[in-house]
Amino acid sequence: MKNSILLLGIGALSLIGGLIALLNPLAATLTAELLTGYLFIAIGALMLVSIFADDSWGSRLLSLVLGAAVLAIGVNLVSNPLQGVLQLTVVVALLMLFIGVLRIIFAFRLPGGGLRLVLILSGIISLALGAMILTSFPFSAAVVLGILLAIELISNGISLIVLGLAARDQTN
């Protein structure tokens, strides 16, 4: 039951976030880019701090290199938001393609029925959105990316809500 409530809650948040992003796609694009930059900065800094907790020189060196790289990517995204939007556009398109394939693979591992169909449709939507971003690049980076991200959030929200309802029905 807890799992179904969590899936329903996350699905509802994703759906609401998608609707808000549809209202201002340029702001959604810039917000996503800046949030990503700040997250990379925080993760890179934490990786650098983790050097002091590592026991071996090999792990320290790996934490140093990866931490510095992640930190540099974050600083680049925050300091050059327009260039960052272009870079993030490509990354998001590739992630959507990857997530679409994973959803479809996951769907075929489930027993047939409505749940499978919803996951396949969600996977197809992700694949289509990723392809649309890449085929209209770099123009997609300004406004279309925000719209496509909103649609992805809505699709994700619906699929999580359906998964949550299915999980709730299985426990009853």
CB–CB of 127/100 below 8 Å?
A: yes
Cα separation, 36 vs 118, in Å, equals 29
Domain membership of residue 83 as a residue range: 2-171
Question: What is the model's pLDDT at position 172?
Answer: 65
Q: Tell me the average pLDDT of the chain.
A: 85
Count of domains forming the chain: 1
Identify the residue with better confidence: 93 or 55. Answer: 93
Residue pLDDT, tens place only, 38-65: 999 998 888 888 888 777 777 778 888 8
Please provide the distance, in angstroms rounded to a whole number, between the alpha carbons at the two ends of the chain: 9
pTM of the model: 0.58
Which pLDDT does position 100 carry in this prediction? 92
State pLDDT tens for residues 95-151. Answer: 989 999 999 998 888 877 778 888 889 899 999 988 988 898 887 777 776 787 788
Which amino acid does the sequence have at 103?
A: R
